[in-house]
Amino acid sequence: MILIIDDDSAVRSSLSLLLKQSGFEVATAEDPDTASQFMSRQTPDLFVLDMNFSVSTSGDEGLALLRDIKATCPERPVILITAWGSIPLAVEGMRLGAADFITKPWNNDRFLQSIKTALSLSQHGAAGAAAVDRDRLDSLYAIDNIIGSDSKLLAVLETAGRVASTEAPVLIVGESGTGKELVAEAIHANSGRAAGPFVKVNLGGIPPSLFESEMFGHKKGAFTNAVHDRVGRFDTADGGTIFLDEIGDLDSSSQVKLLRVLQDRSFEVLGTSKTHTVDFRAVSATNRNLDELVGTGQFREDLFYRINLITLKLPPLRERRDDIPLLVNHFIRNLKTIYRRENLSIADRALVWLAELPWPGNVRELKNVVERTVLVSKRDLLDVEDFQIQAQSAASSIGTASLPAVGTATLDEMEESMIRKALEFHGSNITKVARSLGLSRGALYRRLEKYGITV
């Protein structure tokens, strides 16, 4: 049973007809009092709640009713419906526990998708979760490309598997190198969109001036140097999943444009005035703390709520040390084939030694050290000594021996110096410089501008 609460009879009629045609049982209420009376007799499975019931459009009545619903039946999802100009009001509703918000005029497909996703997630939550076990997860989901049996990792994979079948927007957070892209691929592979495209976009590497062209596409002649038509990333992802990596590095103007397309699933290709609609599922990732960025005004709160209906936090490698031997053996097996070294193996004491290292670069750093060791060592049985050379080489770039004395340089001066050294070392290759410094391309460009460094 879905209860629609809206003072506009036309809205109630339209939504009721749409939901009934899709097989849902529907009831309606024209104001909060009528809704409260209905709830005293029956508890709906989901609420569709308008935010304004008076000419003041303050939304106070809608927020008050939302509080009552979440206090009475907190497990029941609430979907807010409001005008685009009232999105700040919807954001306040999301803070109070609403599952999603839809803007008027709504898109029927988008509205139904939101309803089905909210109900599906609610049912998953009510069913509870069995004890997480790697063998059980492997039997339920396609997650072969993610190595590990640590309880924190398994909890993430279990949630990812459960929500994959929904259309819920997922935000994957974690330090660089923890495997966020692999989890995004697993969500896609276990979804109803698995046969569709999986499109990866590094948002931190797209300059603001090229955001619309890159994401929405353009027509020939739309701007200077637009000598050919270009298909945007959202068009490419039609029918599949778009992975929005490094979303925390997106500038404010691009955040507004991204919010619109995530909300309406429509946009205009540059050089045209025709609205273009696409069907995609969005999965986002970042190594930054979006809560802090929202608090400082660097990341839009409405966009934050739009992308993180489900948040998955990947643990760093130092918090799942028992997985390190599993990962190393996995890498060794792959490298045996790649480099045609069938007798390649690793000593047990080397596995113990590797498991004790901090690995600030996480799985990515571990993989690089293992591969460099295989390439350099001529022995088939790799021991501690073989890995020590490569591990020390990786750590030497951040060693304290090269640091200036305290008080002789500011952090900004040290950062500028390191950027200039990296540019010189990598021949001004921005991608390599950014990677070596642990930055996204977008973050590196901002620092180049900050220090007046030209490339």
Does the pLDDT at position 398 exceed 50? no
Percent share of the chain, pLDDT over 90: 60
Instruction: For the chain, give every residue range classified as CATH 3.40.50.300.
Output: 160-315
Measured CA to CA, the distance from residue 306 to residue 260 in angstroms comes to: 10
- Within 8 A by CB and 6+ apart from 17, the residues are none
pLDDT in tens, 358-369: 899 999 999 999
Higher pLDDT, 224 or 254: 254
Instruction: For the chain, give every residue range classified as CATH 3.40.50.2300.
Output: 2-127
Does the pLDDT at position 399 exceed 50? no
Measured CA to CA, the distance from residue 398 to residue 392 in angstroms comes to: 10
pLDDT in tens, 251-275: 999 999 999 899 889 999 998 888 8
Residue 397: pLDDT band by 50, 70, 90 thresholds?
very low
- 2-127 folds as Rossmann fold (3.40.50)
* Sheet-wide strand order for 26-29: 26-29, 2-5, 46-50, 78-83, 100-104
- At residue 361, the 3 state secondary structure works out as coil
Measured CA to CA, the distance from residue 321 to residue 149 in angstroms comes to: 10
Does the pLDDT at position 4 exceed 60? yes
- At residue 434, the 3 state secondary structure works out as helix
Chain-centre distance for alpha carbon 140: 23
Q: Which of 7-16, 183-192, 378-387, 429-438 has the lowest mean pLDDT?
A: 429-438
Q: Which of 135-144, 177-186, 196-205, 428-437 has the lowest mean pLDDT?
A: 428-437
- Mean of pLDDT values over 32-50: 93
pLDDT for the residue 84: 62
Helix axes 151-164, 108-127, angle to 10 degrees: 140
Report whether CATH 3.30.40.10 matches the domain 160-315: no
Q: Which of 76-80, 184-188, 326-330, 388-392 has the lowest mean pLDDT?
A: 388-392
Nearest CA-CA partner of 314 in 157, 190, 438: 157
* Sheet-wide strand order for 198-202: 198-202, 240-245, 280-286, 170-173, 310-313
Does the pLDDT at position 236 exceed 90? yes
Quickly count: other Cβ atoms within 10 Å of residue 28's Cβ.
19
pLDDT for the residue 157: 95
Chain-centre distance for alpha carbon 194: 18
Give the C-alpha distances (Å, rounded to integers) separating 79 from 24, 47, 90, 217, 276.
15, 6, 10, 32, 25
Q: Which of 95-109, 224-238, 404-418, 439-453 has the lowest mean pLDDT?
A: 404-418
Contact (Cβ atoms closer than 8 angstroms) between residue 366 and residue 323: no
pLDDT for the residue 404: 61
Measured CA to CA, the distance from residue 125 to residue 118 in angstroms comes to: 11
Planar angle of CA 172, 175, 176, nearest 5 degrees: 100
Higher pLDDT, 385 or 221: 385
Contact (Cβ atoms closer than 8 angstroms) between residue 180 and residue 284: no
- Mean of pLDDT values over 281-288: 96
Higher pLDDT, 105 or 369: 369
CATH class, 405-450 region: mainly alpha
Instruction: For the chain, give every residue range classified as CATH 1.10.10.60.
Output: 405-450
In whole angstroms, how large is the CA radius of gyration of the chain? Answer: 26
Instruction: For the chain, give every residue range classified as CATH 1.10.8.60.
Output: 318-396
CATH class, 318-396 region: mainly alpha
- Mean of pLDDT values over 386-414: 65
- Mean of pLDDT values over 325-341: 94
